[in-house]
Chains A and B, each alone.
Chain A
């Protein structure tokens, strides 16, 4: 069975600090996809990134970066120079191969509070 663990329930940082959100996953599949979503206080889910299991390149998008390591089954998310607007719940999720339905398994989420 697939499982996603976000061990950090809540993180508080001061603005401009860097912060890393951890994500560890379990799956028996060799083909899978990993996602990060942001849920701001308004409640919607905002897609941040999708990574397939064959692409271990790290990715950077502005202040956001992701570190995918198959050896440790981790897909960690770093925010550099955090801002108050980054305050949200962040979810890591795992999906199986598209032909099996693209069903997402979510972690419990990490609440990030950025204080000014």
Chain B
């Protein structure tokens, strides 16, 4: 049972560099999400997708981009990394309706921008 898989788990970036956090799920879920968790805080939604080809901004989208070309994959792109993007990033997925709308999270990606 792979569930939601994110890579890399740890990464150090220099200011101004770019990178992509990969996320894939094998549960055939329609909905996928990216959250960030800053120290001592709850998670905040960056972007989400309700299906392939459809993405929308969450609460804190600035400095990020996403795409959803397949049901399984939902990569998060950081352009011109800034120290404020130092955080733990969680990818998640869920079904659209019914009793199965529990949101499942990946194990997190620790990103440090120096």
Contacts and interface: CB of A to CB of B under 8 A. Distances in A.
A102 interface: yes
Contacts of A106: 35, 42-44
Interface string B72-114: 0000000000000000101010111110011111011010000
Interface string A82-116: 00000000010101001101111111110000000
Sort chain B's interface into a size bin.
20 to 34
B112 to A, nearest CB: 14
A80 B101 CA distance: 28
A64 interface: no
Contacts of B105: 37, 44-45, 47
Nearest to A42: B107
B41 A104 contact: no
A103 B58 contact: yes
The B interface, classified by DSSP as helix, strand, loop or mixed, is strand
A36 to B, nearest CB: 12
11 contacts: A4-B42, A37-B105, A43-B88, A43-B110, A45-B108, A98-B96, A99-B96, A102-B94, A102-B103, A104-B92, A108-B40
Cβ-closest 7 pairs across A and B: A106-B42, A45-B105, A98-B101, A106-B43, A98-B97, A108-B42, A44-B107
